[in-house]
Amino acid sequence: MDIDQEYTKYIEEFEDLPTLDFIHQKVVAVVNDPTSSASDLNEIISKDPSLSSRILKLANSAYYGFPKSVTSLTQAVVILGFKTVKNLALSVMTYDKLFKNPRMGEKLKT
């Protein structure tokens, strides 16, 4: 079996590729809207505790090096920037949908 056939077979095994849920769709829409603000994005993100905590964790990481803890989600959004928040939201969603699904997670690990 050549590589193209292997990829085709692999992709066909994933009957239901994950779709964006409502929160992640809204995050992408807000980020892509040039008139939106950090508070608009905060309003959406605050509805997802898991995503909120990951954004705060990233904003408080050594990479950003702030001397005081970032405790406000709006402040974290401003520090990280819209693009980073969108990428994190999509990464979290992808990980949760693929790797936390036992059927898909096992296939991806092999």
Per residue of the chain (110 residues), what is the pLDDT tens digit?
A: 667 777 676 666 655 555 567 888 899 999 999 999 999 999 999 998 889 999 999 999 999 888 889 999 999 999 999 999 999 998 888 877 777 666 655 555 55
In a domain, 13, yes or no: no
* Token pair listed for 30: 């807000």
| pLDDT of res. 103 | 62
Q: Judge whether 2 lies within some domain.
A: no
97 lies in some domain: yes
Residue span of the structural domain in which 57 resides: 19-109
For residue 59, tell me if it sits in a domain.
Answer: yes
Q: Within a domain: residue 12?
A: no
3-state per-residue secondary structure call for 13-61 = HCCCCCCCCHHHHHHHHHHHCCCCCHHHHHHHHCCCHHHHHHHHHHHCC
* 38, part of any domain: yes
Look at residue 61 and tell me if it is in a domain. yes
Check if the beta carbon of residue 44 is closer than 8 Å to that of residue 27: yes
Domain membership flag for residue 11? no
Alpha-carbon torsion (34, 36, 38, 41), positive or negative: negative
Domain count across the chain: 1
